[in-house]
Amino acid sequence: MKLICIGRNYTEHIEELENEKPTDPVVFLKPDTAILLKKQPFFIPDFSNDVHYEVEVLVKINRVGKHIDRKFAHKYYQEIGLGIDFTARDLQAQLKAKGLPWEKAKGFDGAAVIGEWLPVSDFEDINKMSFSLKKNNKIVQNGNTSHMLWQIDELIEYVSKYFTLKIGDIIFTGTPAGVGKVTANDKLVGFLEEKELFSIIVK
Per-residue model confidence (pLDDT) at position 15? 60
Compute the chain's Rg from CA coordinates. Answer: 16
Residue 45 and residue 48: Cα distance in Å, rounded? 6
pLDDT value, residue 23: 86
- The count of other CB atoms within 10 Å of the CB of residue 173 is 23
Instruction: Provide the sign of the torsion angle of the four alpha carbons 70, 71, 75, 80, taken in this order.
Output: positive
State the CATH number of the domain containing residue 79: 3.90.850.10
Its domain, for residue 165, covers 3-201
Predicted local confidence at residue 90, as pLDDT = 97
Phi-psi region of 90 (alpha: psi -120 to 50; beta: other; left: phi over 0): alpha
CA–CA gap between residue 86 and residue 133 (Å, rounded): 13
pLDDT value at residue 8: 85
pTM (two decimals):
0.94
Short-list 77, 90, 84, 91, CA closest to 110? 84
- Domains in the chain, number: 1
What is the pLDDT, as a whole number, of residue 176? 95
CA–CA dist 55, 135 (Å, integer) = 11
Going from the first residue of the chain to its last (203 residues), give the mean pLDDT of each consecutive group of 10, the final group possibly shorter.
93 62 89 96 98 98 98 98 98 96 96 98 96 98 95 98 98 96 98 97 98
